[in-house]
Chain A
Amino acid sequence: MLAIRAEPRTFNSLTVPDTTTEILASLTQAKLVRINRVTDELEPWLAESWTRSDDGLRYVVKLRPNASFSDGHPLTASDVVFSLAAAYAVRSVAITLEVDGKRLRAEATDPQTVTITFPATFAPGLRMLERLPVLPRHKLEATLSSGAIDKALNLATPPSELVGPGPFVLKEYLPGQRLVYGRNPHYWRRDAAGGQLPYLDRVIVEIVPDTNTQLLRLESGQTDMTTGEVPAESYASIKRAADANTLKLYDLGPGLNANALWFNLKPGSMGADPRAAWLQRDQLRQAISMAVDRKLFADTVYLGAGVPVFGPITPANKRWYWSGTPQTPHDPAAAKALLATIGLADRNGDGVLEDAGGKPAQFTLLTQKGRSPLERGVAVIRDELKKIGLVVDIAALDGGAMIQRIVASKYDAVYFNPTWSDTDPAASADFWLSSGSFHYWNAEQKTPATRWERQIDDLIVKQMHSIDEQERKRLFDSVQTIFAEHLPVVYFVAPHIFVAASTRVVNATPALWAGPQLLWSPDTVAVAR
C-alpha cells in the first residue's frame, strides 16, 4: 500500500508528464526498453534483444514472444509502430522523440520484429524509447484515427478498458480516495527461479494530499512506502521509527538534481531597465556563487544532508560527472571585488551596492510557493547576498504563475528545481542547446546569443552524434567546464535523497531517479507475510 499526493489527472502517460501519472503508469504500462534506475544501464524489456546497424541509424528489435496486454491480446510489432505514431500525435511528447528536429521511423518487419530508423546517429540510441509506453493498437486505433489520442484513457475510462502490458491492472478507482490494482493475469515476466511475476497480488494507492499525513500513515503502518522523498524536516521522526525497527530508511546519497538559480538572460527582455547592464553579466553570477556559503546552505536548507555542487551534473551521475569542473571558492571579499568590475560599489556607505547611476543593486528572486526547500533556499541566498551588498526581494508564486513569467521572460531571477529526465546529456539536449526550450535562462534562441553558448552547442551536437563513449565523455567534460566558467545557472547543494518503507517490504531496490524511487520496478517488490 502506498500513497500519492495528487489525484491523477489521466491514465494516459503520453499527455501529462507529472509524478502521479508516472507512478500509476509504472504499475500498468511497460516500454520496449527500460533504464535500470540503479545501474543506469539500458535493459531489454518488452524488447527481448536488438541489433544496431554499423552506421548507428537502424535498430532491429525483437519482441518477447510471450508479451501480451492485460486483456490477453498478444503484443506485436504493430503495437510498437502504433505507439510511436500515437506519441507523435501529442505535440508535447513528439519533440522528446525527435533527433535534430526529425522523427524516428518504425516499421513492423514481422509480428515479432520492429525496425526503428533514426534520422541521424543518436548516441543514446534506444534509450530514447524509455519514454514511450507501448499502447494497445486494438483498443486505441480508432481514437488515434479520430485525432483524439490525447483524450483517451482519461479518468472516466472504465478500468476494464485500461489495457496495458504492465504487471498490474486497475480494478477500482474511488476519486479522492484510492486506486486499487490487481495482478495482470497475462503478465509476461518471470523471476530468475521461473516464478510468475508480479509478487504482489494487489497494490493500493491512497490519495493523501498532505506530506506529513503520508509519513504518519507510513509510521503507523497504514501505508508501506513513500512514493516521494522524505523531506529534510521529517527526517528525524522517520529516523526514530527506523531506529525502533518499525521502518526502513534509505539514504540514497546526493541526488541527481540540485535546485538552481538563474537570471533572465534573454537579450532585450529587460527593455530600458538600466539594471540590465549588470543583471545579465557573468560576473554577477560568479560573485553570487562565491558569496553563498554552500556549507551553510546545506546545513540550513537540508539540515546538513547535502553536498556542495558547482554545476548541473551532480556526483550522483557517476558516468557523466566531471570532477575537474571549476569550483568557485566561498569568498565574499572576492565576490565584492568582482561586482566592482561591473560597476557595482557601495557609493554612499550604507552597506548596499549601487550601480553607476546610484541606483541600489536590487533584484527580485522568484520561487515556487509552498515548497519548503525552495523557500528556505531563497532565504539563505537573500541573507548571504545581503552580506556583499546585494538586495534580494523574494516573490513566492504558484507554479503556473512562475512558469508563465519564465516563458514570457518577465522576471529578474528564479530559484527553482528543474529535474533531469535522463542522466545521459544527449537525452537532455534541450537544456544544453541554445535552441532548447529547457535552456530556461534564454530559451529557444534562433542563433546562439553568446560565444560560449555556441561552443556548448557545437560540443553537445558532436557528443550527441558520436558513438565513441570515451569521446562523448571528453566532449561533455568540456561542456561542463565552459558551463561552470560562465555559470548561466548557479547551483549550490545537491541534497541527499531519503526514502522510507515498512519493514515488511522486501526486494525494493531504491534508486535516485525522481519519480517512484522505491517502486520503479514494481513487479519484483514483495511484502513479508
Chain B
Amino acid sequence: MLAYFARRLVFAVFLVFAVSSASLLLARLAPGDYASESLGLGARRETIDEARERLGLNRSIASQYRDWLVRAAHFDFGRSLQYDRPVSDLIPESAKNTAILALTALVVATLIGLPLGVITGKQQAGWAGGAGKAGRAGRAGGIIAGAIRSVSLVLLSLPPLLTSLFLVFAAAKTGLLPVGGMTSSVNGGTVGDLLSHMVVPVAALALPLVAMFERLQSQAMSETAGQPFVIATLARGVPLSRVIWRDALKNALRPVASVYGLVIGTLLSGSFAVETITAWPGLGQLMLTALRARDIYLVTGCAAAGSIFLAAGTLVSDAALAIVDPRTAER
C-alpha cells in the first residue's frame, strides 16, 4: 500500500512540473505578448521594444524557461507582469476562494447524486415492485426513477456555462439571490452573506456533477444487484434496504471513486466560465485575466496551482479507491 502511494506521489510531482512547464512554454510561444497587449495599438515600435527589454520578454524561450525552473525550485514563481507583484502573493487568495466553491459543490453533488443513483439503480435492478401495496409503491418508484433519469440526462447535456448563465439570469429576475460576487459590498462578510452568494456558482458546478454521479452510481448499483454476494445476503433474510444501503452501495462506489479525482481536480483548478459569469474571485477568473493580458508568469502560477489541486484530487481518489477496493493498491 505504501509503495502504491509513493508511486502516486511521484506521479503527482511530475504532473505539477509537466503542467507548469507546458503552460509557460505555450504561453510564451503563443503569438503576441504582454508588451504589445498592454501598450495597445499606436504604441511606437521603440516603446514596445523597450518594454520587452525591461520585462525580459525578448529573451530566448530556453533562457526564460531555465531561469523560471531555477526560481520555481525555490518556490519563487516569478512576478506578475501586469500587477508587478510576486505570483506567489496573488495565487493563495484566489485558490482559497476556488476551493471554497469547488469543495462545496462536490459535497452537494455527492450528497444528492449518490442517493439518487441508488434510487434509480435499485429500480433498474428490479428491486422495487411486487403485488398490491408494494406494487403501487413500485410503480410510483418507477415514475420517480424515470423522472430522475430524465432530469439527469438534461443536466448532463448542459455545460456549466449555460447553467450559470441561466441561474444568474434567474437570480436577477427574481431578486432572491445576489447576482455575482462573493460578498455584498454593504453589510457583507457574514457567513449567511457568503452562503447566499455561493448558491448560484455552487449550483452551476454541482448540477452536472449530481447527474454524473447519479448515472454512474445507478449503473454500478444495477450491476452489483446481480452479484452472488448480494443474492446470498438477501437469501439469508437480511432486509432489502440494509443490503442496498450498506452492502451493495459500498461495492458500487468504485466507479464513482475512480472519477472523483478528476472531478476534484477539475473543480479546484477553477471553472473559468462559472467564475467569470458569477464574478467569483477564484483561480479560474485570475487565470483568465492573466491569459487575456498575456501575463506568462501568472498563467504559469495559476496552472501550477491547478495542477497541484489536480494531483491532490487524484491522490484522494486513489486513496478512496484503495479503501473501497483494496485490490487496487495491490496491483
Residues of A in contact with B (beta carbons under 8 Å apart): 1, 6-7, 9-10, 16-18, 91-92, 95, 151, 154-156, 174-178, 180, 204, 206-210, 212-213, 216-217, 219-222, 397-407, 416, 418, 430-431, 437-438, 440, 443-444
Q: How far is the CA of A204 from the CA of B181 in the complex (A)?
A: 13
Query: Which residues of chain B are near A400, meaning CB under 8 Å?
Result: 31-34, 36-37, 293-294
Q: Which of B6-14, B40-48, B226-234, B301-309 contacts A (4 or more CB under 8 A)?
A: B40-48
Query: Which residues of chain B are near A174, meaning CB under 8 Å?
Result: 281
- Knowing A217-B180, A404-B31, A405-B31, say if A177 contacts B281 (CB, 8 Å): yes
Q: Does B94 contact A (CB under 8 A)?
A: yes
Q: Which of B101-109, B131-139, B165-173, B252-260 contacts A (4 or more CB under 8 A)?
A: B165-173
Q: How far is the CA of A343 from the CA of B179 in the complex (A)?
A: 58
Query: Which residues of chain B are near A204, meaning CB under 8 Å?
Result: 185-186
List 11 A-B residue pairs with CB atoms under 8 Å apart, sorted by A's residue number: A151-B84, A176-B94, A204-B185, A204-B186, A216-B169, A217-B180, A220-B173, A399-B40, A400-B36, A403-B40, A404-B33
Query: Which residues of chain B are near A208, meaning CB under 8 Å?
Result: 180-181, 279
Q: Are the CB atoms of B47 and A220 closer together than 8 Å?
A: no
> Which of B279-309 touch A at CB < 8 Å?
279, 281-282, 285-286, 288-289, 292-294
Q: Are the CB atoms of B41 and A440 closer together than 8 Å?
A: yes
Query: Which residues of chain A are near B30, meaning CB under 8 Å?
Result: 398, 401
The residue that A403 contacts in the complex, of B32, B44, B281, with Cβ under 8 A, is B32
Q: How far is the CA of A208 from the CA of B36 in the complex (A)?
A: 25
- Knowing A208-B180, A397-B32, say if A437 contacts B288 (CB, 8 Å): no
Q: Are the CB atoms of B289 and A6 closer together than 8 Å?
A: yes
- Knowing A177-B183, A206-B279, A217-B180, say if A437 contacts B292 (CB, 8 Å): no
Q: Are the CB atoms of A213 and B179 closer together than 8 Å?
A: yes
Q: Measured between C-beta atoms, what is the minimum distance from B93 to chain A in Å?
A: 6
Interface size class of B (residues with CB under 8 A): 35 or more
Q: How far is the CA of A178 from the CA of B180 in the complex (A)?
A: 12
> Which of B76-107 touch A at CB < 8 Å?
82-85, 89-90, 93-94, 97
Q: Measured between C-beta atoms, what is the minimum distance from B33 to chain A in Å?
A: 6
Q: Are the CB atoms of B36 and A222 closer together than 8 Å?
A: no
Q: How far is the CA of A418 from the CA of B42 in the complex (A)?
A: 9
* Residue of B37, B84, B180 contacting most chain A CB atoms (<10 Å): B180
- Additional A-B contact list (10), CB under 8 Å, known A209-B276, A406-B41, A437-B44: A18-B40, A92-B39, A95-B44, A206-B185, A209-B285, A212-B277, A213-B180, A398-B31, A403-B39, A438-B42
Q: How far is the CA of A95 from the CA of B182 in the complex (A)?
A: 42
The residue that A175 contacts in the complex, of B172, B175, B278, B281, with Cβ under 8 A, is B281
Q: Are the CB atoms of B279 and A407 closer together than 8 Å?
A: no
Query: Which residues of chain B are near A10, meaning CB under 8 Å?
Result: 83-84
- Knowing A220-B175, A222-B178, A438-B42, say if A154 contacts B85 (CB, 8 Å): yes
Q: Does B50 contact A (CB under 8 A)?
A: yes
> Which of B26-77 touch A at CB < 8 Å?
30-34, 36-45, 47-48, 50-51
